[in-house]
Amino acid sequence: MFRDIRLHGYANDQIEFYAITAGSEAYNRYFFNTDPTDPGEIRFFSPGNEFIIGKNGISHRGNGGSFCEYMFGVDQPIADLAKEDVSNRLIIYGTHYDSRSGTLRFSERTEGYVSYDKIFFDGNAIFNYFFALTGVDFSGPMHEQQERILRVLGKALKRSGAVGEEQDNLIIREILDIIDDPNAHLFLFKLINVRHREYSEAFKALYFNNKKITDAEFQSLAVLAERYGIDRYQQERIRIDVMYKHPDNRRIVDEYKNILIACNRKGEINKLENARLTRLKTLSVRNKIPGALFYTLDEMLKKDKKLVDLEESNYISETRTILEGMFLSERQIESSIDAEDMLKLLYAKKQAAENRDHAFEEMLLDASKACDEKIRDGADISILEGYSYIITYFDRYDATSSAINQLAFMENVRISEEMIRSLLGNKHAFDMLAPDLFKKLFLSGIFEDKYLGIYGRKKVSHLASGLKLIEENRLTTSGLLEQLVKIDNDERLHLTLLAHIKDRIRNFYSKYATKGDQDALKKELAEELKNKKLIDGEIPDHLFREAILTIKKEAVYIHNLLPQIILEKSWALREDFLENSGLDRFYVEELEREFFELNGLDLEELYQIRKGFN
């Protein structure tokens, strides 16, 4: 008959709530009232339990607790993070962890008050659940009730996929099925921050469209956040959580997380694992995956882990020496940062970035705090000027490195004259510090990167020569912009052609070796792409031939070479193909992954071959 009864309302203009009682004869057990003197408060009660929804927060008394889906990047116990099936945060009233015994302690004191600000700060920023239970099995002393609830429901509540999907009916069914007591009744309260939800949905709609947010779109989000008073921390955690849940991001980030978890358990990161992490970080740039998704994992799992078999460098101690030297001026010692010091710091920053060494950034943060404290206590202002000098160059470094890496490893990059002018200004500043410093910091290493593809190499090469020509007044910024945009458009069309040609060959053409076959394929493909409005004119012949050649090389590798490489575990044969085929390493690695997954092979064997470990 009646399975549950629900009450829907608003605690205020920001908090929406659903109050549900579920169980047999629920209509006989659902009690709530309001206080005429305080119409903004509603009280729900049952034998031994009380839950009050007020204007600014909730009060609770009795058994139960709260649960919500973990947001990506929040402080999460390592024990939960290490279990792939744990997705939810569970809090049982009146419990605390005893570090000495390593056990959970239960108390008779379960009542309390929690503000909405704290609920959506400590828990999920969008929605959180609270619950209480009545029935024969949930009576007796409060600590025994709470211990039984945790023992019976804890595992299911922490792993239920229904929580993240907000499937209230499924949550109710899962809980009551586990309890399996005809006298049991569940009281479930769902609180929703409607402002945070609107911000989250707006960001998701924009980001999921093409995995990037334009300046205009970001400004509209900023206006929305300002209108609703959403602080920057909540904005950031909402955005990071949405970005993580994009399917293309989640696979790479989860693989990165799993490697770090394994390293965390043993307390060290070896050479092979570090190489995998590096490859995933590089791949993330190619796939437009935000670095923030990796920084949060590094902070939680990688901190203080020993880097095994990695050469210990002196750049950290050298950096510390320079930074600490800034504060010697209060002893009348000349310690200003000169050009030689700045060069050492820039090369140290470059090496720290390549090693993903957070110790470097932590030293900068410590220096910043020390600088503020010294100035507050009356130290000479020259300390602040020295630190500002460092930060100015580091900001230039970050902006330049980000722009060049995007050009090198990403498709559909937003290229503008403003970006070129910024790079030109930064190049001038670096080269003023030391001749050809711009080239040494940002270009030399990138051309040696094995993951630099054909089009990425073209873009960076044209950028390097173009900036030099602009300085010599032999080229304009608009001229360089035109060159870079053309390469980017060629890259986009090449990828489009590659995907559509492979699809047509798979479904319609068994042969494409002769010129006649290729001409027919090109003609049909041109009509299809025009109808889809993917091209305006004809397909450039050189791009079409390039795509056909790529597919031929792919077929040779997949059908002939890769099986031999796997059989012989031949790193040399694989590297020979990569160096001489002209195919992008990213593209070949994706082909290998698909081959291994399709044939049910162990990916660990592929990792070993890639690193040359036989």
Q: pLDDT at position 332, please?
A: 43
pLDDT > 90? residue 146: yes
Max mean pLDDT range (111-120, 316-325, 581-590): 111-120
Rounded Cα distance between 499 and 87, Å, is: 36
In this structure, of 75-79, 516-520, 531-535, the range with the lowest mean pLDDT score is 75-79
**Overall average pLDDT of the 572-600 stretch:** 86
pTM of the model: 0.56
Residue closest to 68 by CA, chosen among 134, 147, 7, 121: 121
Strand 38-46 vs strand 49-53: parallel, antiparallel, or unpaired?
antiparallel
Q: Which residue in the block uniquely carries the two structure tokens 């010599």?
A: 472
Residue closest to 171 by CA, chosen among 196, 188, 192: 188
Length of the chain as a residue count: 614
CA neighbours closer than 13 Å in the CB half-sphere of residue 388? 6
Helix/strand/coil for 30:
coil
569: left (phi over 0), alpha (psi -120 to 50) or beta: left
pLDDT > 60? residue 248: yes
Q: pLDDT at position 2, please?
A: 47
pLDDT tens readout for residues 174-184: 999 999 888 88
Q: Locate 279 and state its tokens.
A: 């490859």
At residue 249, φ and ψ (nearest 5 deg) are -80, -40
Max mean pLDDT range (429-443, 539-553, 557-571): 429-443
Cβ partners under 8 Å of residue 129, min gap 6: 66, 67, 68, 163, 171, 188, 189, 190, 191
The whole-chain average pLDDT of the chain stands at 84
**Overall average pLDDT of the 527-551 stretch:** 83
Max mean pLDDT range (378-392, 436-450, 512-526): 436-450
Asked whether the beta carbons of 577 and 561 are under 8 A apart, the reply is yes
Cβ partners under 8 Å of residue 306, min gap 6: 267, 268, 269
Rounded Cα distance between 173 and 507, Å, is: 46
pLDDT tens readout for residues 4-19: 889 999 999 999 999 9
Asked whether the beta carbons of 537 and 545 are under 8 A apart, the reply is no
Give one DSSP letter per residue of 405-473, joined into a string. HHHHH-SS----HHHHHHHHHHHHHHHHHSTTHHIIIIIHHHHT-TT--HHHHHHHHHHHHHHHHHHTT
Q: Of 397 and 605, which is predicted with more confidence?
A: 397
Asked whether the beta carbons of 348 and 364 are under 8 A apart, the reply is no
| Confidence class for position 524, pLDDT limits 50, 70, 90 | confident
Q: Of 218 and 40, which is predicted with more confidence?
A: 218
pLDDT > 80? residue 67: yes
Q: pLDDT at position 16, please?
A: 97
| Confidence class for position 565, pLDDT limits 50, 70, 90 | confident
Q: pLDDT at position 507, please?
A: 62
| Confidence class for position 613, pLDDT limits 50, 70, 90 | low
pLDDT tens readout for residues 445-460: 888 888 888 888 999 9
Max mean pLDDT range (38-42, 139-143, 186-190, 591-595): 186-190
Give one DSSP letter per residue of 93-145, joined into a string. TTEEEETTTTEEEE-S---EEEEHHHHHHHS-SSEEEEEEEESTTS-SSHHHH
Q: pLDDT at position 36, please?
A: 66
How does DSSP classify residue 55?
Answer: S
pLDDT tens readout for residues 271-319: 667 756 776 776 677 667 777 778 778 877 766 655 555 454 678 777 8
Q: pLDDT at position 94, please?
A: 92
- % pLDDT > 90, the chain: 37
Asked whether the beta carbons of 224 and 198 are under 8 A apart, the reply is yes
Residue closest to 554 by CA, chosen among 594, 598, 602: 594
**Overall average pLDDT of the 219-223 stretch:** 92
Helix/strand/coil for 379:
coil
pLDDT > 60? residue 510: no
Q: What one-letter code names the amino acid at 433?
A: L
Asked whether the beta carbons of 560 and 570 are under 8 A apart, the reply is no
Residue closest to 180 by CA, chosen among 221, 137, 213: 137
Q: pLDDT at position 290, please?
A: 78
Q: pLDDT at position 118, please?
A: 95
The alpha-helical segments, DSSP class H, found in 356-381 are 358-376
pLDDT tens readout for residues 308-355: 554 546 787 778 777 766 664 444 444 567 788 899 899 999 988 888
pLDDT tens readout for residues 344-389: 899 999 988 888 787 788 888 888 888 888 777 776 777 777 788 8
Cβ partners under 8 Å of residue 546, min gap 6: 494
